[in-house]
Amino acid sequence: MENAAYTLDPLIAPPGASIVIIGMAGAGKTTIGRELAQLIGKPQLDTDCIIEAYYGTDLQTISASMSKEAFLDMESAVICRLRLQDCVISTGGSVVYREESIRRLKKLGPVIYLKVDLPVIIERIARKPERGLAISPGQTVEDLYNERAALYSAVADITVDGGDAPALFYASEMARRLSLQSP
């Protein structure tokens, strides 16, 4: 699989369009996004990393320092300022809570929902409890998962089932679903 051999179908996204990956924390958006970017020869960007760079600290510290609503508003402001093209964008799991964020991401390119089963998400979040998670007091990861699943499905152009296979497997599936063709 050589990078130069893949092109994005212009019916799915015009030249210069980015590919946006959404899904739950722990779904693998960043890891798979990196693989997809390498596979198709595009740069990759993680919106959580932009937030961390702006604030100069990790996402968990940032989310703990503000209310959930304030965090979501800040995240949306960052998303709405993105002026990117021709890249793979991995987003924070909470990006779907603000309509203006989704409108902006959809303008950048097709949105892929990386759908991973709840038990896998719970296990991955437990392995990395320091990850930033926009969750209300008293809310469980299961509550959050159920709340977000419908939102992700509603805004996605494409849904790709994720899981425990190597990241390249899911990146290749995304490329196939986007009609990335080798000549």
Q: Summarize pLDDT for 76-104 with one digit per residue, the tens.
A: 999 999 999 999 999 999 999 999 999 99
Domain boundaries, the chain: 15-174
Pick from 55, 62, 21, 50: nearest CA to 159: 21
For domain 15-174, the CATH class is alpha beta
- 120 near 26, Cβ under 8 Å? yes
Structure-model confidence comparison of residues 166 and 179, the more confident one: 166
Q: What is the pLDDT of residue 120?
A: 96
Total-model pTM: 0.90
pLDDT digits (tens, 9 = 90+) for 1-53: 344 345 666 666 677 889 999 999 999 999 999 999 999 889 999 999 999 99
Pick from 172, 179, 167, 169: nearest CA to 27: 167
Q: What angle do CA 97, 102, 108 make, to 5 degrees?
A: 155
- 20 near 105, Cβ under 8 Å? yes
